[in-house]
């Protein structure tokens, strides 16, 4: 659906995007992750045709962006970081204007605008001036704007920034809903958001792709073997000595006492071996009840920091 | 293009800008109509139009300051430039909206000659010709304002720069009377012009040889022409400035002459600035 080849953007001496290569399949929800200034917005601005790349190509549905700008732009709905709204217009005036510049035929305009306003829930503010709307509503009008013209691809730049927690939840649900019918690329520097919504994540730093995988795989890949967090009721020394004797355990790390009379330990297993059963039997034999056992995946924050640090060490 | 035109026209009257422009224009033109036609009992309406051309200095910046700059400030250019809308269509839509508001205002001033027509003798053909000239002159100024508005996201800066540029054009009328007419001055001026153009070309392409050769040849030709036929350069500087004196062309309209070459002159001037605006926006994408 989207194919990015050797995409580079240079501002004078500054390299904002450095030979990016990736593709997005039809129907996928791709998360674009990176700290501020990593080149996320620049990349999105290039894909949507707002900026031109210094080098490289963007192909949408087999059509090159440079050769067929009009056809490509029809296929893309874009919600930039700051929703592009005219404050002195009402919501419905604004959406009508957007429909006109996106060449929606008058016959389908009314119906499709109604559908969009229903979907993003802005029907009740349609007659209000945009400048009087709250940030959450403005963001939704921005999203509505991106949906006008029924584009197959949605590019959303930080769609939840500046929203309150409830609105963030609603926006995420909405994006997931949209992902059923559209190919979605969304960017964020808030990591849990991406793992909540996206099927695949591209992590980008200083204009380069650092990693690209599903949130779960990324987590697995970085932790090496499998890590288990256990909370065991009993004295620390005894727990540790019992655990180290279990076959397949390569290391035991004490995390401290979270609940009185218990100890939290992280147990690392050799390679792919599942040691949960043997851990259970070993500890129950010693009369040490396991109160909690869960796989300890790295959160995206940790992945992110780890990747960025690896990168810095390597260079 | 039509969608942009419609939106911009609406925007003029959703903000005070449209009203300020119209109000200011109508007050000044009404004042001159009263002073030059009503009080002395004169039917020479075209004199009013010729007398109020200075009004452009003040009202055109109001009309054009937000045209392109506002979209950059509001980031709505991200919507416009990522929609299936050509840049030419976008710029033309905005330009025509500004010209439209100007035209609408002119239509209202059409009441003045109507008053004369009822109470006296009116040279109808002359007035229509004068209005066409006035509209074209205003359109050129609007095109200049449009271009300046595209260079900044600050409306106030756009307004002041436009005012400054129009003032300069205004002064050209007088400047051409005081600049030296002598042949030697004309020759030096031509040589400097050639060097200036080549310096600009060098800045763009960064190739010494390609720029140096025409520069040397050009200056050589100027020197040779000066030695052989000095009279070519006589009065060249005033003539050069006269080319760019937009107001001078209006004089023929004001005298009741419908000058087709002036019409084309004005149209091509507007087209040039619209073209520059389109190029400027395109260039920004590559910046």
pLDDT digit string (tens) for chain A, length 315 residues: 899 999 999 888 888 999 999 999 998 999 988 878 888 999 999 999 999 999 999 999 999 998 999 999 999 999 999 999 999 999 999 999 999 999 999 899 999 999 999 999 999 999 999 999 998 899 999 999 999 999 999 999 999 888 888 888 888 899 999 999 999 999 987 777 787 888 898 988 888 888 888 877 776 666 555 678 889 998 888 888 888 888 888 888 888 888 888 899 888 877 667 788 888 988 898 888 999 988 776 666 666 777 777 666 666
B285 at interface of A, judged by CB pairs closer than 8 A? yes
Contact call for A82 and B3, based on CB within 8 A: no
Give SS3 for A7: strand
Length reported for chain A = 315
Q: What is the pLDDT along chain B (287 residues), one digit of tens a residue?
A: 889 999 999 999 988 999 999 999 999 999 999 999 999 988 888 888 888 888 899 999 999 999 999 999 999 999 999 999 999 999 999 999 999 999 999 999 999 999 999 988 888 888 988 899 999 999 999 999 999 999 999 999 999 999 999 998 888 878 878 888 888 888 888 889 889 988 888 877 777 888 888 889 998 998 898 888 888 888 888 888 888 888 888 888 878 788 888 999 999 999 999 999 999 999 888 76
- In angstroms, what separates the C-alpha of A105 from chain B's closest C-alpha? 12
Beta strands A200-205 and A29-33 are parallel
Contact call for B74 and A103, based on CB within 8 A: no
Nearest residue on chain A to B93, alpha-carbon basis? A101
- CB neighbours (10 Å) of residue A274? 11
**With a CB-CB cutoff of 8 Å, which residues 81-110 of chain A face chain B?**
82, 84-89, 93, 97-98, 100-103
Q: Six-digit token pair at A139?
A: 């963001």
User: Which residue intervals of chain B are DSSP H helices?
Assistant: 2-14, 16-33, 46-51, 55-64, 69-74, 77-82, 87-109, 111-119, 124-150, 155-178, 183-205, 208-228, 236-243, 246-254, 260-286
Rounded to two decimals, the ipTM of the complex is 0.85
Asked whether the beta carbons of A283 and A293 are under 8 A apart, the reply is no
- Cα–Cα distance for residue pair B129/B46, rounded to 1 Å: 9
- In angstroms, what separates the C-alpha of B287 from chain A's closest C-alpha? 7
Residues of B in contact with A98 (CB under 8 A): 79, 83
- Cα–Cα distance for residue pair A54/A13, rounded to 1 Å: 12
- In angstroms, what separates the C-alpha of A173 from chain B's closest C-alpha? 24
């Amino acid at each position: 659906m989207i194919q990015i080849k050797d995409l580079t953007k240079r501002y004078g001496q500054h390299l904002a995007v450095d030979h990016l290569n990736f593709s997005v399949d039809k129907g996928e929800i791709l998360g674009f992750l990176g700290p501020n200034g990593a080149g996320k917005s620049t990349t999105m601005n290039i894909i949507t045709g707002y900026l031109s790349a210094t080098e490289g190509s963007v192909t949408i549905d087999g059509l090159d962006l440079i050769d067929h700008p009009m056809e490509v732009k029809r296929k893309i709905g874009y919600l930039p970081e700051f929703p592009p709204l005219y404050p002195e217009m009402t919501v419905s005036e604004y959406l009508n204007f957007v429909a006109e510049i996106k060449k929606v035929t008058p016959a389908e305009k009314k119906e499709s605008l109604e559908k969009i306003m229903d979907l993003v829930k802005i029907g009740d503010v349609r007659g209000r001036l945009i400048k009087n709307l709250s940030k959450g509503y403005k963001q939704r009008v921005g999203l509505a704007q991106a949906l006008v013209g029924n584009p197959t691809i949605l590019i959303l730049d930080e769609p939840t920034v500046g929203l309150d927690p409830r609105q963030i939840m609603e926006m995420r649900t909405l994006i997931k809903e949209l992902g059923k019918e559209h190919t979605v690329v969304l960017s964020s520097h808030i990591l849990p958001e991406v793992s909540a919504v996206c099927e695949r994540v591209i992590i980008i730093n200083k204009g380069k792709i650092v990693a690209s995988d599903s949130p779960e795989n990324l987590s697995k890949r970085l932790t090496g073997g499998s890590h288990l967090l256990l909370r065991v009721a009993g004295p620390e020394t005894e727990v540790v000595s019992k655990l180290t004797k279990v076959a397949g355990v390569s290391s035991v790390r004490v995390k401290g006492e979270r609940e009185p009379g218990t100890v939290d330990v992280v147990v690392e297993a050799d390679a792919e071996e599942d040691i949960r059963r043997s851990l259970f039997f070993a500890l129950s034999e010693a009369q040490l009840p396991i109160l909690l056992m869960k796989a300890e995946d790295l959160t995206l924050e940790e992945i992110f920091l780890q990747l960025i640090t690896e990168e810095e060490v390597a260079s | 293009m039509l969608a942009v035109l419609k939106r911009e026209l609406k925007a003029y009257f959703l903000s005070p800008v449209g009203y300020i422009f119209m109000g200011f224009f109508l007050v000044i033109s009404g004042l001159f109509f009263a002073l030059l036609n009503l009080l002395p009992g004169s039917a020479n309406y075209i004199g009013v139009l010729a007398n109020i051309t200075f009004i452009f200095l003040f009202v055109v910046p109001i009309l054009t300051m937000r045209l392109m700059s506002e979209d950059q400030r509001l980031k709505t250019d991200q919507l416009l430039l990522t929609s299936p809308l050509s840049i030419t269509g976008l710029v033309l839509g905005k330009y025509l909206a500004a010209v439209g508001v100007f035209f609408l205002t002119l239509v209202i001033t059409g009441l003045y000659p109507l008053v004369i027509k009822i109470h006296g003798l009116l040279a109808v053909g002359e007035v229509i010709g004068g209005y066409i000239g006035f509209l074209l002159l205003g359109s050129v100024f609007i095109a200049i304002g449009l271009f300046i508005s595209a260079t900044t996201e600050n409306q106030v800066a756009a307004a002041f720069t436009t005012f400054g540029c129009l003032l300069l054009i205004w002064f050209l009328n007088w400047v051409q009377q005081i600049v030296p007419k002598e042949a030697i001055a004309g020759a030096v001026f031509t040589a400097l012009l050639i060097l200036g153009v080549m310096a600009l070309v060098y800045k763009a392409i960064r190739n010494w040889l390609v720029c140096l050769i025409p520069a040397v040849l050009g200056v050589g030709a100027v020197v040779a022409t000066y030695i052989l036929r000095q009279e070519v350069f006589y009065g060249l500087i005033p003539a050069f400035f006269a080319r760019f004196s937009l107001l001078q062309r209006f004089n023929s309209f004001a005298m009741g002459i419908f000058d087709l070459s002036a019409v084309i002159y004005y149209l091509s001037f507007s087209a040039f600035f619209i073209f520059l605006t389109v190029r400027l926006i395109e260039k920004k994408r590559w910046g």
